A and B are shown apart, each in its own frame.
Chain A
Amino acid sequence: MTSTLEILNQPQSPRMVVNIGPQHPATHGTFRIECVLEGERIVESRTEIGYLHRCFEKMSETHDYWGVIPYTDRLNYCSSMINGVGYCLTVEKLLGCTIPPRAQAIRVILSELSRIMDHLVCIGTNLVDLGAITNFWYAFRPREVIYDLLEACCGSRLTVSYVRIGGLQDDLPPGWVERCRKVIRKDVARALLDLEKLNTRNPIFKLRGQGVGVMARERAIAWGWTGPCARASGVDYDVRRDHPYHGYEQYEWQIPVEHGGDVFARYLVRMEEMRQSVRIIEQALDQLPDGPVIVDDRRIALPPKQEVYTNIEALMAHFKLIMHGILPPPGEVYGLVEGGNGELGFYIVSDGTRKPYRVKVRPPCFAVFQAFDEMLRGMLLADVVATLGSLNIIAGELDR
Chain B
Amino acid sequence: MSDSEVKSGLEAAGEADEAAALPEPVTARLLKAELGTAVIGTSMAFGDLAIQIRREALVSAARQCRDHPELQYDYLMDVGAVDHLGRTPRFEMVYNLYSLRFRHRVRLHVQIPEEDPTVDSLIDLWSAADWFEREAWDLMGIRFRGHPRLVRILTHAEFVGHALRKDYHPAERHRLSRTYDLFTEDQAGAPPDGASSG
Contacts and interface: CB of A to CB of B under 8 A. Distances in A.
A243 B96 CA distance: 15
Contact of B96 (A59, A61, A347): A347
Contacts of A329: 6-7, 10, 12-13
B182 to A, nearest CB: 4
B80 A367 contact: no
B1 interface: yes
Nearest to B3: A352
A59 B170 CA distance: 8
Interface residues of B, number: 52
A374 to B, nearest CB: 8
A46 interface: yes
A384 to B, nearest CB: 15
Nearest to A333: B46
A119 to B, nearest CB: 22
A53 B154 contact: yes
A95 B10 CA distance: 6
A170 interface: no
B99 to A, nearest CB: 10
Interface stretch (B21-29, B112-120, B127-135): B127-135
A242 interface: yes
Contacts of A93: 12, 46-47
B10 A96 contact: yes
Nearest to A49: B153
B96 A242 contact: no
B167 interface: no
A272 interface: no
* A: contact size bracket: 35 or more
Interface string B57-97: 00000000000000000111110101100000000001010
A371 B127 contact: yes
Contact of A399 (B10, B47, B154, B182): B154
Nearest to A225: B128
B48 A334 contact: yes
Interface in A367-381: 367, 369-371, 374
A347 B80 contact: yes
Contact of B12 (A96, A357, A400): A96
Interface in A217-255: 219, 221-224, 226, 235-237, 242-243
A358 interface: yes
Nearest to A92: B12
A334 B164 contact: no
Contact of B183 (A34, A235, A297, A343): A34
Chain A contact surface mostly: mixed
Interface string B167-198: 01010000000000111101000000000000
B126 A222 contact: yes
B96 A324 contact: no
B15 interface: yes
A327 interface: yes
Given A57-B164, A224-B77, A347-B78, A50 B153 contact: yes
Contacts of B126: 222, 224
A333 B128 contact: no
A50 B155 contact: yes
Chain B contact surface mostly: mixed
B61 to A, nearest CB: 18
A299 interface: yes
Contacts, number: 143
B131 A370 contact: yes
A287 interface: no
Contacts of A235: 100
Given A93-B46, A224-B76, A224-B126, A1 B183 contact: yes
B9 interface: yes
Nearest to B78: A362
A370 B128 CA distance: 8
A19 to B, nearest CB: 9
Interface in A32-82: 32, 34, 36, 46, 48-50, 53, 55, 57-59, 61-62
Given A50-B153, A367-B128, A327 B103 contact: no
A293 to B, nearest CB: 20
B154 A49 contact: yes
Interface in A342-389: 343, 345, 347, 349, 357-358, 360, 362, 366-367, 369-371, 374
Interface in B122-148: 126-128, 130-132, 135, 139
A55 B163 contact: yes
A4 interface: yes
A332 interface: yes
Interface string B18-48: 0000000000000000000000000001111
Contacts of B103: 242-243
Nearest to A22: B179
27 contacts: A1-B183, A4-B183, A17-B183, A34-B183, A49-B153, A50-B154, A50-B155, A53-B155, A57-B139, A58-B163, A61-B170, A62-B170, A96-B11, A96-B13, A222-B127, A243-B103, A327-B1, A332-B50, A334-B48, A345-B78, A358-B82, A358-B83, A362-B77, A362-B96, A366-B131, A374-B127, A399-B154
Interface of B: 1, 6-7, 9-16, 45-48, 50, 74-78, 80, 82-83, 94, 96, 100, 103, 105, 107, 126-128, 130-132, 135, 139, 152-156, 163-164, 168, 170, 181-184, 186
Of all A-B residue pairs in the complex, the 4 with the closest CB atoms, nearest first, are A96-B12, A224-B128, A96-B11, A360-B80
